[in-house]
Amino acid sequence: MSVSLRERPAAQYINPYQAWALIFASALIFAAAGTIIGKTFFWNNNTGYESALAKQLTVAQERTKTDPKSPGNWVNLGWIYFQQGQYNQALAQYKKAMDIDPNYYPAYYNLGLAYMQVKKYDLAAETLKKAVTLEPKSGVAFLNLGISYTQLGKYDEALKYLQQAYKFNSGSAEVLYQIGLAYEKSGRKEDAIYQYNAAVGFDPKYKPAREALARLK
């Protein structure tokens, strides 16, 4: 198979005035593009995010009015409150979902996360234990259940559930780090270092594990 050679086009002459005009026009275009990109991605970014959440909140509230017997609608409403940092409001919505369907996993899981945010780790653990009975293969529920027990200082319980989280998500630096943290807090330094090293092995940029290794070495 042959490839034909293309002739190099003849050079075109541009006088100095044309050259400066092109440079000036290019500079204006570049500056304008930078302004647009800045406004879109950097400036007032939080304002745009909050505005989007406000719109989502209105829609979610309307859905709970039109279909109040849907537990999913209440969980969605609670999740928007959660993202806004209104954790007590989120808790209330999740509880409404549970009243409608006492076996609705998303309500229990999200309720557990909200309890963790307000540092009610005993209630979080209780709620997430129910969540993992409803979804026994939910790695994230086991992970947060384990974290709750670590926060309560019940490290054996924490490790039991964190090992379950590892079973379903063995490639997670976060899971390995949390196992290491439970070991560290229970005084098992060498086991903690091993887990932190494993976390860094999965993700060399995972900052919490790197900081933990620096602290222990």
pLDDT of residue 58: 86
Alpha carbon distance 34, 176 (integer Å)? 41
- Token pair listed for 63: 């859905």
pLDDT of residue 46: 62
The amino acid occupying position 125 is A
pLDDT of residue 4: 29
Give the end-to-end CA distance of the chain in Å, rounded to a whole number: 62
pLDDT of residue 210: 98
Count CB neighbours of 89 within 10 A: 17
pLDDT of residue 171: 80
Alpha carbon distance 76, 3 (integer Å)? 59
DSSP per-residue letters across 101-120:
-TT-HHHHHHHHHHHHHTT-
pLDDT of residue 2: 33
The amino acid occupying position 81 is Y
pLDDT of residue 160: 98
- Token pair listed for 66: 């039109």
Count CB neighbours of 76 within 10 A: 19
Listed residue (103, 78, 109) closest to 93, CA to CA: 78
State the residue for tokens 């309500």.
107
The contacts of residue 189 (CB under 8 Å, 6+ apart) are: 183, 216
Could you tell me the maximum CA-CA distance found in the chain, to the nearest angstrom?
Answer: 80
- Token pair listed for 25: 């026009």
Condensed to tens digits (0 to 9), the pLDDT of residues 129-174 reads 999 999 999 999 999 999 999 999 999 999 999 999 999 988 899 9
DSSP per-residue letters across 45-61:
HHHHHHHHHHHHHHHHH
Listed residue (59, 48, 104, 57) closest to 81, CA to CA: 57
Tell me the average confidence (pLDDT) per consecutive run of 10 residues in the chain, 217 residues long.
32 37 39 39 57 86 94 96 96 98 98 98 98 97 98 98 94 95 97 97 96 95
- DSSP single-letter state for residue 80: H
- DSSP single-letter state for residue 107: H
pLDDT of residue 57: 87
What is the chain's length? Answer: 217
